[in-house]
Amino acid sequence: MAQDTSGGDNVMDSSDTSSMETDDPEGMTVSPQEHAWALEIKTAAETPNSGFRPISDFEYAQYALVTRGRLNEALARIRKIQSFQAQYQVDNTPSQGVSIVEQFRHLQPTALLNLDKHPDTGDSIICFDRSTYFPAITKAPSPDHTDPEHNWKIDILFWYYALRTVQPDFHTIRHGVVFLFEAMGLGKDNVDVSLAKRLHREMWAYYPFEIQRTRIYNANQSVPLLVSALQSLLRPEELQCIETGCTVHGDDDDGFHQSTDRATNSPPLTLGDIYLQPTVDQSGRYLLARIMELLTLRSQNEESFRL
């Protein structure tokens, strides 16, 4: 029997998502086609004895948008992510997300620069300093915990919650994530392909998100090392969207920082020069508050959205 895909208040009459988003400043509307995809996924996942745990209608829609209605792929992703959530005791609460980011910043104090939505376009932004991220710390046992993989668990949960933070609505999910990587001073100690492969295998390959583009700033001779790690995480079409010739001018098009006047003979700016202001601690407090705000918005949208 055919499903009723007429939907409720969150379904627009038009299948043109560009015009749909113009009329939807909150980014919480789906097209009739997207709605039908999500309902099909929900129906299959909630079949008796399917083995899936219930998830929100918002999440069904998220899987629908990312897979474009490919049912088997969506179900496989849900199964893998639910297994990941059980293994790593994920509860999807804003408080757990902020706690994980705090712990990650304790391990890698200046690696995370920003998680946010672009103020003009609403696109997702993850800004990260690869030159101050040290995989050896992630792989090392923590002196404060009996679990030898404590640091690794914080690392992979950080990436899970980073993706969740920057995609609180359907606009951000539909448009994909923009990654901004700082590479000034990047060396072999900042890259570990085995960790990237494990991240991909356990979570990254299945989490419902897409990459819009990746920009690498202040690229040096070590960037091939970084690209080798990214090859373990990105699909071929995503690798083609990597830009390696980016420099920071203080008014770059990520839209998150103020214009900065610099003398022409000044050392190159890094993304850290922009985001870690006025101090690492103060910028960190602002960032954690913003993460809590976005994760709370995501939770509210999950609670209110109905197919």
**Which pLDDT does position 166 carry in this prediction?**
98
Count other Cβ atoms within 10 Å, centred on residue 44: 16
| Tokens found for residue 157 | 């949960």
Domains annotated for the chain, with CATH where assigned, are 17-87 (no CATH), 94-299 (3.40.525.10)
**Which pLDDT does position 6 carry in this prediction?**
43
Count other Cβ atoms within 10 Å, centred on residue 41: 27
**Which pLDDT does position 287 carry in this prediction?**
98
DSSP lists the bridge partners of residue 124 as 117, 177
Low-confidence stretches of the chain (pLDDT < 50) are 1-6, 14-15, 252-253, 255-263
DSSP lists the bridge partners of residue 179 as 126, 214
The dihedral region occupied by 185, where left means phi > 0, alpha psi between -120 and 50, and beta the remainder, is left
**Which pLDDT does position 23 carry in this prediction?**
61
**Which pLDDT does position 25 carry in this prediction?**
65
**Which pLDDT does position 18 carry in this prediction?**
54
Q: What is the DSSP-derived secondary structure letter of residue 11?
A: B
Q: CA-to-CA distance for 87 and 222, rounded, in angstroms?
A: 35
The dihedral region occupied by 94, where left means phi > 0, alpha psi between -120 and 50, and beta the remainder, is alpha
**Which pLDDT does position 91 carry in this prediction?**
97
Residues comprising the chain, all counted: 307
**Which pLDDT does position 250 carry in this prediction?**
61
* Burial environment of residue 237 by CB neighbours within 10 A (0 to 12, 13 to 18, 19 or more): exposed
Q: Judging by DSSP bridges, how do beta strands 211-217 and 242-246 pair with one another?
A: parallel
**Which pLDDT does position 1 carry in this prediction?**
38
Place of tokens 């609670």: 303
**Which pLDDT does position 257 carry in this prediction?**
46
DSSP lists the bridge partners of residue 11 as 30
